[in-house]
Chain A
Amino acid sequence: MATALKQFSVALAGKGVLTAAGLGLSPLQRAVAANTGNLQRRDCLIGKTLQSVIGGFVADEITAQLRAADPANRASRPFLFAAAAAEQAVADSGRILGAIPAARRGFVLSTTKANIDVFDQLAAGQPVPLAAQRQIQPAFLATDLAVRFDCRGPLQCVSAACVSGLLALQQGAACIRRGRADAVLVVGVDVISNFVLSGFNTLKSLDPEGCRPFDLGRVGLSLGEGAAAIVLVRRELAPAPRLLLTGCGTSNDANHLTGPSRDGAGLALAIRRALAASCAAPEDIDYLNAHGTGTPYNDNMEALAFRTVFGDHIPPFSGTKGITGHTLGGAGVIETTLCAATLESRLLPGTPRLRERDPVAPESLLETARPAAKLKRILKVNCGFGGTNAALIIEREQP
């Protein structure tokens, strides 16, 4: 295996995040350390009815703060959220990104519904700025963000349900590997909207008490909103010690449109592909960040997939959507940002909001955060509607 080539050798040079925990990585890490869920109850329109919903909402004061920087009130919420996360990631990358010519800086966006809010605004007869109207189309949102951050190289927009974020990171890394760019700003974003709440409400997928991933009493998910951004660069451009994205694997269950396969075979296939792409063996994974939506079927399926790949040696794993809610197109980038921070802090996240572990969940489930004895490589997985699965591996480069 030592001589095999990894799929990617791309460094994570900067990261930024906006979630229900707050703006920036620090509040997210504090929530991880305290193992506190950040879900809140709010009255939201679902269809035409005001209903009480628990979700991972971005705090109103943060949204107001971001709005204040846009006095013309022209930007959509997804644009504001994505730009806020991207600004942090660019700043976190120090001088690396600025030293790369704009034509060699690519941009990849992950989103499922972009500015879907525009439906309600138009239906209510509200004036909607043209820029915000156009951002209902995901690639237009991507273009506006790429312009905002002066990324004039390759541009892509991924919309593949809940695996969008991991696919966007894969695409960003592939762009660098093929020599089309020296750096790629990868951003994932989605907002809680009447549209999405109505959809998951009609599917009866929302847990009225808030999501409880891998809990015996779990009954559904909680939606979340937010954004994250990761600056990917050619390995040589990042200073040591580096965090590297080494491989990604995807698959389709070919089973059901909205439900996961019952045997976890599709996710297991994606994990094996990611391991092979990273020239890694199952025992090389030191921590696994699960999709962990809190729906009974998803969490059962994941447990089976983990057993299929790792046998009796499932690495410590947890589900962190109790902090952020399920941010859909934002999830993959947000959770990979959390994993990158974990590689740096060496504090493995727990599973906030867990009350009683479902015996179906492997015993290596982390109920609370704990320091890692050994932490080199992390596996991140997501699964989505349409039977899509994605797995991505990041690692801390050894000196």
Chain B
Amino acid sequence: MNGEFSILAASWLGPEGYGNDLTGLRDWPTSLAEQLQRGDLNGLHWSLLSDSDPSRFLRMDLMCRLGFMAVELLDAGFDTMSDVRREHTGVCIESFTGSLDTDIRFALTPRPSIFTYTLPSTVIGEICIRFRLKGPVLSLVPTAPGGGDGPAEAIDWLQRGEAENVLCLSIEAMNRSTANSLPLPPELSAAGWHAAALLLGPEENPSRAQPLTAGPLADIAASRVRAPCRNALAISNRQKIQCG
């Protein structure tokens, strides 16, 4: 799709498992797999992916948790990025279901801690706070789950020099129990769940970078994760993306 810019890292988590373009798709722990496959997401926990402090994660709604986990899964070296690079890293999110799961929870139990999360763009704030990203931002609602224009918007930012890297996410976050609590339009109640992330930018590490193909973001990320880099083991953890 664009020879100048590439997928620098990809991650995906959904009913089938989780992983990135280095590790490939991993199975959920047996104790969780069945409930995640049927859309019961209450068991998703930070400790599945990280041993770092989960306190912030525990405050988040489902959409933010999924987005946070997808970015953590990317293993893209954000922690070692220079401040200048962070200021020029954009975030573009797409979500068909948006914050609806949290909206329903807030309507049932109006609490300020829940209201904060009743916007699909809140996850951008969580990610930017976590990684101190200050670049351009965009939050789109596509007409179907899986994403639409996000990668094209990211490429436009990169081509115009408005960002050096762009983190693109597609998140669908509908807990089965929440979806069943209101007579929602069928497209929403059947939207399922996933979180997919792509880091796009100029190719810096040919061993991991992949061309950006056309299609919904979630499909692109899922295909990268299902067909991981063949020489992944040769890539040392902190050299995956040169930062700063």
* A, B from the same assembly: yes
Contact of A140 with B137 in the complex, beta carbons under 8 Å: no
22 A-B pairs (CB sep. < 8 Å)? A113-B118, A116-B103, A119-B104, A134-B187, A137-B96, A139-B142, A157-B141, A157-B143, A158-B140, A161-B121, A199-B112, A200-B115, A202-B110, A203-B116, A250-B136, A252-B124, A254-B128, A254-B129, A258-B116, A386-B123, A386-B125, A386-B128
Using CB atoms, name the residue of chain B closest to A138: B141
User: Nearest chain-A residue to B119 (Cβ)?
Assistant: A161
* B120 close to A (CB within 8 Å): yes
Count the B residues whose beta carbon is within 8 Å of the partner chain — how many?
A: 50
Query: In the bound complex, what is the Cα–Cα distance between A242 and B72 (angstroms)?
Result: 47
**B166 on the A face (CB < 8 A):** no
Instruction: Give chain B interface residues in 126-148, CB to chain A under 8 Å.
Output: 126, 128-129, 131-143
B residues within 8 A CB of A172? none
CB of B100 closer than 8 Å to a CB of A: yes
**Nearest CB in chain A: distance from B50 CB, A:** 20
A142 to B143, CA, bound (A): 9
Residues B124 and A143 in contact, CB atoms below 8 Å apart: no
Which A residues between 238 and 266 are near B, CB-CB below 8 angstroms? 249-258, 266
Q: A159-B139, A160-B138 are in contact. Are A137 and B185 (CB under 8 A)?
A: yes
Residues on A close to B: CB < 8 A?
A: 7, 47, 112-113, 116, 119, 122-123, 130, 133-134, 136-140, 142-143, 155-161, 164, 167, 171, 174, 178, 195, 198-200, 202-203, 249-258, 266, 269, 273, 277, 384-388
Chain A nearest Cβ from B161, distance in angstroms:
10
Q: Which of A119, A122, A134, A386 touches B124 (beta carbons < 8 Å)?
A: A386
- The answer to whether A160 and B139 touch across the interface, beta carbons within 8 angstroms, is yes
Task: Report if B182 contacts A (CB, 8 A).
Answer: yes
**Could you tell me if A112 and B141 are in contact, using CB atoms closer than 8 angstroms?**
no
Q: A140-B185, A250-B137 are in contact. List 19 more A-B contacts (CB 8 A).
A: A122-B182, A133-B184, A137-B185, A139-B96, A156-B140, A157-B140, A158-B141, A159-B98, A161-B119, A174-B156, A195-B107, A199-B115, A199-B118, A200-B115, A250-B138, A252-B134, A253-B134, A273-B136, A388-B124
